[in-house]
Amino acid sequence: MAISGENLRIDGDRLWDSLMDMAKIGPGVAGGNNRQTLTDEDAEGRALFKSWCDDAGLSMGVDTMGTMFMTREGTDPDALPVYVGSHLDTQPTGGKYDGVLGVLGALEAVRSMNDLGIRTKHPIVVVNWANEEGARFAPAMLASGVFAGVHSQDYAYGRKDLEGKTYGAELERIGWKGDEEVGARKMHAYYELHIEQGPILEAEGKDIGVVTHCQGLWWLEFTLTGREAHTGSTPMEMRVNAGLAMARILETVQEVAMAALPGAVGGVGQMQFSPNSRNVLPGTVVFTVDIRSPDQAKLDGMRAEIETRAAAICDEIGVGCAVEAVGHFDPVTFDPELVGNVRKAAEELGYSHMNLISGAGHDACWAAKVAPATMVMCPCVKGISHNEAEEISKDWATAGAEVLFRAVLETAEI
């Protein structure tokens, strides 16, 4: 069969069936998923993905961070591969599509190459990055960060979850510690399909986001030290209240982000009180501030202002204040040539599209440090994500995978 534009399509039903089958693994309590990294559910999802890759004739490599690389050979053994992927791990109350659409969309592109008898010059490698979410083991994009040389493997292996288990021990426990040296692989290019996780594409009635940039991020972990005391018998003027300090810092984050608009966000998602007893004022409060902006100066300026004002708040209340940057990447500009391939594919396929800056962080942000990289995005319903109610349509999934397929072929050269 001659390969021509009109038959460069993918099988949207097959993709959708794979998404629904993967969603059965690590089900949440409200229709989404809880397939956190390095859990038994993650291991089950990895095994299912591997079985599909076996069926598609891909060979597997796994690195020492547990990232899965599934290779479809090209015609030129000397040509560097085109990598295409995302992540299968989810938030504790995650959706069925965050990350998963990118991994299974990449697999669908390979399945379609098989169906169409397409041989590419460059090999294609489908990637399931380990621990993209950073929910269980901070920071996010941990394995792709080690791959890009941003984190050491020792640092990554030592990261602990809330039960004190380490990344390294859990990776061994589930049997997915590979033998490939992290980062030894060289990429010709990297593509990632992902849901937008924001409301813009749906609101604008667009099928495809041509992602030109990704906003930068700081995750600042505050440890506030107060004095444990009885919530009833301790007079107000004698309290050293770390909870009060935390509340004022949270308000400060809101104020700083609002003052930096447009193009800034800030908030707190995780907080621990110790001893976390109803009638004990907390001795320690630990919480993580997540601030982001596509503008470098704004991003770093917000961090500086929050840390300065937090120190003053703690001084005033008499609370100890320690801050650690547990996650960071600068704003990312994706590769113009690859971005052009995505735009061209959307035009050829007749999908409505618009330029987009990614609000969420992705493995593509670290891949962009070591190779030309870009992303394709599809809408999600009301922009809801990191929520079990996350939803997309089959048409959106098909459009995204189809654009990914064509853009990858453009770079991998038929």
Binding-site sequence positions: 87, 98, 133, 194, 386
99 binds, among ligand HGY, Mn ion, none (CB under 5 to 8 A by kind): Mn ion
CB of 262 vs ligand HGY, minimal distance in Å: 19
Decide which of ligand HGY, Mn ion, none touches 330; Cβ closer than 5 to 8 Å per partner kind.
Mn ion
Distance between CA atoms of residues 46 and 44, nearest Å: 5
361 binds, among ligand HGY, Mn ion, none (CB under 5 to 8 A by kind): ligand HGY
Should residue 99 be labelled a site residue for Mn ion when binding is judged by CB under 5 A? yes
How many Å apart are CA 202 and CA 196, to the nearest integer? Answer: 9
Residue 74, phi then psi, degrees to nearest 5: -105, -175
Smallest distance, ligand HGY to C-beta of residue 140, A:
4
Nearest residue relative to Mn ion (C-beta): 99
**Within 10 A of 214 (CB to CB), how many other CB atoms are there?**
27
How far apart (Å, rounded) are the C-alpha atoms in residues 330 and 215? 7
* Closest by Cα among 358, 351, 385 to 32: 385
- Please identify which residue in 89, 98, 307, 391 interacts with Mn ion, judged by CB under 5 A: 98
Q: Which does 390 bind (CB under 5 to 8 A by kind): Mn ion, ligand HGY, none?
A: none
Q: State the nearest-atom distance from the C-beta of 360 to ligand HGY, in Å.
A: 4
* Closest CB to ligand HGY among residues 74, 361: 361
Residues 260 and 251 sit within 8 Å (Cβ to Cβ): no
161 versus 172: smaller Cβ distance to Mn ion: 161
Q: What is the chain's alpha carbon radius of gyration, rounded to the nearest angstrom?
A: 22
Question: Which residue ranges are tagged as binding site for Zn(2+)?
Answer: 87, 98, 133, 194, 386
Helix (H) or strand (E) holding 341: helix 336-349
C-beta closer to Mn ion: residue 144 or 241: 144
The CB density around residue 318, as the number of other CB atoms within 10 Å, is 14
The two structure tokens encoding residue 91: 């938030």
Q: Least CB distance from residue 233 to ligand HGY, whole Å? A: 42
Q: Which is nearer to ligand HGY, 116 or 200 (CB)?
A: 200
Residue recorded with tokens 């707190």: 268
Measured from the CB atom, the residue of 127 and 245 that comes closer to ligand HGY is: 127
Please state the closest distance from residue 390 (CB atom) to ligand HGY, in A.
Answer: 12
> Using CB under 6 A as the criterion, which residues of the chain lie in contact with ligand HGY when the complex forms?
132-134, 140, 360-361
Alpha-carbon gap, residue 181 to 381, rounded angstroms: 39
Considering only the stretches 95-103, 108-116, 252-260, 365-373, report the one whose residues sit in contact with Mn ion under the rule CB under 5 A: 95-103
CB 183 within 8 Å of CB 146 = yes
Number of residues in contact with Mn ion under rule CB under 5 A: 3
* Cis amide leading into 372 (omega within 30): no
> In whole angstroms, how close is the CB of 243 to Mn ion at the nearest point?
29
Q: Cβ 223 to Mn ion, closest distance in Å?
A: 22
C-beta closer to ligand HGY: residue 53 or 360? 360
In the bound state with Mn ion, the residue whose beta carbon lies nearer, of 41 and 98, is 98
Alpha-carbon span 87 to 180, nearest angstrom:
18
Of 329, 411, 414, 390, the C-alpha closest to 101 is: 390
Q: Interface with Mn ion includes 330 (CB under 5 A)?
A: yes
Q: Which residue type does 383 have?
A: G
Q: Which stretch binds Mn ion (CB under 5 A): 97-105, 163-171, 233-241, 341-349?
A: 97-105
State both tokens at 13: 């039903």
Cβ atoms of 163 and 86 within 8 Å: the answer is no
Q: Is 223 helix (H, G, I), strand (E, B) or coil?
A: strand
- Residue 140 touches which of ligand HGY, Mn ion, none (CB < 5 to 8 A by kind)? ligand HGY
Question: Using CB under 5 A as the criterion, which residues of the chain lie in contact with Mn ion when the complex forms?
Answer: 98-99, 330
